[in-house]
Amino acid sequence: MAYLHLLGTGAALSDPHRTTTMLAVESEHSLVLIDCGGDLAQRVFSVGAHLERLSALLITHSHPDHVSGFPLFMEKLWLFGREQPLQVCGIPSAIDQARRSFEAFDTSGWAGMPEIRWCEVLSEAGAAVWSDESFVITAAPGTHGVPVTALRIEDRAGGGVVTYSADTEPSDAVVRLATGSDILVHEATGRFAGHSDAGQAAEVASRAGVGRLLLVHLPPAERLGPAGILVATERFEHTEEGVEGGSYSF
């Protein structure tokens, strides 16, 4: 059985109880983290996920609400006692941003800091991102103000699939990537350039024929409004607001 953890479900500006959108997928043997715009390690501990299983960190794009917590996360991994290298994967602009953020700090005196292994992902549909004994992860580019990659995560053992849109306008590439997924985690920031609202996310879920839609990257409640969720549920029945700290089997 594999689990999706919604470590954070907010947009860059969100309700007081939501931090930036960060995800994890976990099996008995592997923990893969996605994005680090906040205190990622604290969120991992808060959902009871196992940081010692960490295989890789994936970064979807270069915006602060997705990458700015990277140096803090490395400090915490070091203090946690991790010795193995950490694989950090993303399209070039995303991992460049992480690298620059990390290099802003002088960690040369931190004995035993885990090695960072950068792995570049191609910005094309079906690009390989990560695979280990538990998960196979592929990507497709979304449509946002900067290059961004959506992710499709397949559980080798059970065959379950989760797709994460990352930040994007409604995108045919994301529809294709998400086709047949058990869970689509889609952003619902609002209807403006580079983003989607809840109704548009529901249309993507319907077109992709997914089992369940979880809305994340949520704005403050007064901007989302109950009507937003209502409209989304009319367009795709199995729509839910992502629960901060929620865990879902797939």
Positions touching Zn ion (CB under 5 A) are: 63, 65, 167
Instruction: Report the nearest approach of Zn ion to the CB of residue 191 (Å).
Output: 15
Instruction: Report the nearest approach of Zn ion to the CB of residue 112 (Å).
Output: 33
Strand residue runs (E) in 79-230: 86-90, 116-120, 127-131, 135-141, 149-155, 161-164, 183-187, 212-216
- Which C-beta is closer to Zn ion: that of 14 or that of 27? 14
Give the largest CA-CA distance in the chain: 56
- Which C-beta is closer to Zn ion: that of 65 or that of 155? 65
As a whole number of Å, the end-to-end CA separation of the chain is 7
- Work out the angle between the directed axes of helices 92-103 and 70-80 (0-180°, nearest 10): 70
Q: Which two tokens stand for residue 118?
A: 């950068």
Instruction: Report the nearest approach of Zn ion to the CB of residue 145 (Å).
Output: 7
Instruction: Report the nearest approach of Zn ion to the CB of residue 36 (Å).
Output: 12
Alpha-carbon gap, residue 50 to 56, rounded angstroms: 13
- Which C-beta is closer to Zn ion: that of 18 or that of 154? 18
- Which C-beta is closer to Zn ion: that of 167 or that of 182? 167
Q: What is the 3-state secondary structure (H, E, C) of 190-222?
A: CCCCCCCCHHHHHHHHHHHCCCEEEEECECCHH
Q: H/E element holding 229?
A: helix 221-235
Instruction: Report the nearest approach of Zn ion to the CB of residue 249 (Å).
Output: 26
Q: Pick from 175, 218, 179, 180: which is nearest to 197 by CA?
A: 218
Residue 109: other Cβ atoms inside 10 A: 6
